[in-house]
C-alpha cells in the first residue's frame, strides 16, 4: 500500500484544519501587535507567511515521523535471507543455544520499544513479519505471545502507577505511594534478566522524585532542573496507557 493512501490522504483533513487554525491565530496575533505598535503595516501577507511556516513545519515533522516508522517496520519485514535467520538453534550446544535465545529476545524487545515510539506503521502485514522474524521466541504461538504481552504490560502498568502517584502527590502536596506502586517495586524481573522489575536504584529515585513534587521542588531531568506541572505528568501517564493499547494490538 503506497504512502498516499496510508498517510497523505487520511492526514489531509488534519493538515487543512491545522492551516486554517494557525492562520486565524496568526491574524489575531498580528492585529494585537498592530494595536501595540502602530508602526506595523496593515497586511494580510505577514499572518499568511507565519501560518504557512508553522503549518509547513508541522506537516514536515509529521511526515518525517511517518517515514521513519515505515522504514523501521520495513526492516522488521525483511525476508529470511536477512540477518534474522541467524536465530537458529540447530547443532548448537545448550550454552550456545541459550546465548542465541537471549540475543533474539533482546533484539525483539528493542524492536517493540521502537514500535511503541512510532506505532503508525503497525499493520497486520508488518506484525506478521515481525513475529516471523522472531519466531524462535514463540514456539507455542499465541500462548507465548500472551506471556510476552503480560510481561511487557507490567512495565507500562508500573510506569503508569508512578505518574498516577506523582499527580496525586502534586495535588495533595505530600508524598503518595499507592499499593500498585508498592507491588511493582516487589515484582520479579527474571523476564528482563534482573532480580527485580524495578531495580532498587530506580525505586529510590522514583520515591525521591515523588517527594520533590510533593514539596514543590524542581526535579532533575537530563542534567537540568525543571519545574513539573500536572499537565506534564498527565501527558506522560497517557503515553504509558497508549503503550498498553499498542501492546494489545501487537500481540493479539
Residue 89 shares a structural domain with residue 43: no
Residue 51 shares a structural domain with residue 7: yes
Residue 247 shares a structural domain with residue 149: yes
Which pLDDT score, from 0 to 100, does residue 145 have?
Answer: 92
3-state secondary structure of 79: coil
Q: Which residues constitute the domain of residue 122? A: 83-137
Residue 54 shares a structural domain with residue 126: no
Residue 226 shares a structural domain with residue 154: yes
Which grid coordinates are listed for 177?
505511594
- In order of 37, 47, 107, 208, 251, the CA distances from 144 in angstroms are 67, 56, 17, 37, 10
Q: Name the one residue in this structure whose C-alpha cell is 529510590.
A: 204
Q: What is the pLDDT along the chain (252 residues), one digit of tens a residue?
A: 445 555 566 667 776 786 787 777 777 776 777 677 656 666 667 777 777 787 777 777 676 665 555 554 454 444 333 344 457 887 888 888 888 889 999 999 999 999 998 888 888 888 999 999 999 999 999 999 999 999 999 999 999 999 999 999 999 999 999 999 999 999 999 999 899 999 999 999 999 999 999 998 877 777 778 888 899 899 999 999 999 999 999 998
Residue 87 shares a structural domain with residue 68: no
Which pLDDT score, from 0 to 100, does residue 181 have?
Answer: 95
Rounded to whole angstroms, the Cα distance separating 163 from 160 reads 5
Question: How many domains does the chain fold into?
Answer: 3
Rounded to whole angstroms, the Cα distance separating 245 from 141 reads 20
The whole-angstrom distance between residue 68's C-alpha and the CA centroid of its chain comes to 14
Which pLDDT score, from 0 to 100, does residue 83 have?
Answer: 40
Residues contacting residue 14 through CB under 8 Å, at least 6 positions apart: none
Which pLDDT score, from 0 to 100, does residue 19 have?
Answer: 77
Beta-strand ranges (E) seen in the chain are: 219-221, 224-226
Residues contacting residue 82 through CB under 8 Å, at least 6 positions apart: 133
Amino acid at each position: 500500500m503506497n504512502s498516499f493512501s496510508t498517510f497523505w490522504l487520511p492526514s489531509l483533513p488534519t493538515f487543512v484544519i491545522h492551516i486554517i487554525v494557525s492562520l486565524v491565530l496568526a491574524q489575531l496575533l498580528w492585529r494585537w501587535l498592530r494595536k501595540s505598535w502602530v508602526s506595523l503595516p496593515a497586511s494580510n501577507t505577514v499572518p499568511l507567511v507565519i501560518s504557512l511556516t508553522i503549518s509547513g513545519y508541522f506537516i514536515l515533522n509529521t511526515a518525517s515521523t511517518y517515514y521513519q516508522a515505515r522504514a523501521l517496520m520495513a526492516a522488521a519485514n525483511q525476508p529470511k535471507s536477512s540477518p534474522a535467520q541467524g536465530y537458529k538453534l540447530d547443532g548448537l550446544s545448550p550454552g550456545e543455544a541459550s546465548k542465541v535465545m537471549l540475543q533474539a529476545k533482546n533484539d525483539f524487545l528493542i524492536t517493540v520499544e521502537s514500535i511503541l515510539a512510532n506505532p503508525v506503521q503497525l499493520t497486520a502485514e508488518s506484525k506478521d513479519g515481525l513475529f516471523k522474524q522472531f519466531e524462535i521466541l514463540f514456539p507455542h504461538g499465541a500462548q507465548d505471545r500472551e506471556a510476552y504481552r503480560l510481561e511487557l504490560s507490567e512495565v507500562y502498568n508500573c510506569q503508569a502507577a508512578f505518574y498516577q502517584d506523582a499527580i496525586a502527590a502534586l495535588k495533595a502536596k505530600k508524598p503518595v505511594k499507592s499499593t500498585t506502586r508498592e507491588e511493582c517495586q516487589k515484582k520479579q524481573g527474571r523476564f528482563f534478566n534482573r532480580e527485580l522489575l524495578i531495580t532498587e536504584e530506580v525505586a529510590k529515585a522514583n520515591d525521591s522524585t515523588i517527594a520533590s513534587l510533593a514539596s514543590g521542588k524542581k526535579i532533575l531531568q537530563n542534567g537540568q532542573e525543571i519545574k513539573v506541572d500536572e499537565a506534564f505528568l498527565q501527558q506522560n501517564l497517557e503515553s504509558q496507557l497508549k503503550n498498553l493499547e499498542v501492546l494489545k494490538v501487537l500481540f493479539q
